[in-house]
Amino acid sequence: MASGDGGGTIKVWKVENGEELRTFHAQGTIGSLAFSPDGVLLASGTVEGRTDIDLWDMRNGEKIQTLRAHTGNVNNLVFSPEGAQLASASGDLSAKLWILKAGRLYATSKDIDPL
């Protein structure tokens, strides 16, 4: 389980006993979090000014990639079942699909209902 706060701190917890496993430090208020299906990656989306998506390596605690394209709060993140893509939804009324290995935006759907 992961939690994020207004100061950009992300903590990963062991559900069984509440033990803190890892801490990450992002820039900006954390608005969304998602684990890849294999548990190797953690994606974090920010809100309130900085609207980036950061990808974190759970094995070593390092930030490995930042995805930028949204102009509003990143409200939701979900990995594809195989973990190769990441979908993001934003207060800018768009949903985006990212190809993670290439680190690029694949598709955008605009003018969706606010998420």
Q: What is the pTM of this model?
A: 0.91
Asked whether residue 101 is domain-assigned, the answer is yes
Partners of 85 in the β-ladder? 99
Q: State pLDDT tens for residues 58-104.
A: 999 999 999 998 989 999 999 999 999 999 999 899 999 999 999 99
Asked whether residue 115 is domain-assigned, the answer is no
Question: What domain range is 87 assigned to?
Answer: 2-110
CATH code of the domain covering residue 91: 2.130.10.10
**Own/partner long-range contacts of 88-95 (Cβ < 8 Å, ≥24 apart):** 88/32, 88/45, 88/53, 89/115, 90/51, 90/115, 91/47, 91/115, 92/51, 94/70
Report how many domains make up the chain: 1
Q: State pLDDT tens for residues 13-61.
A: 999 999 999 999 998 899 999 999 999 999 999 987 778 999 999 999 9
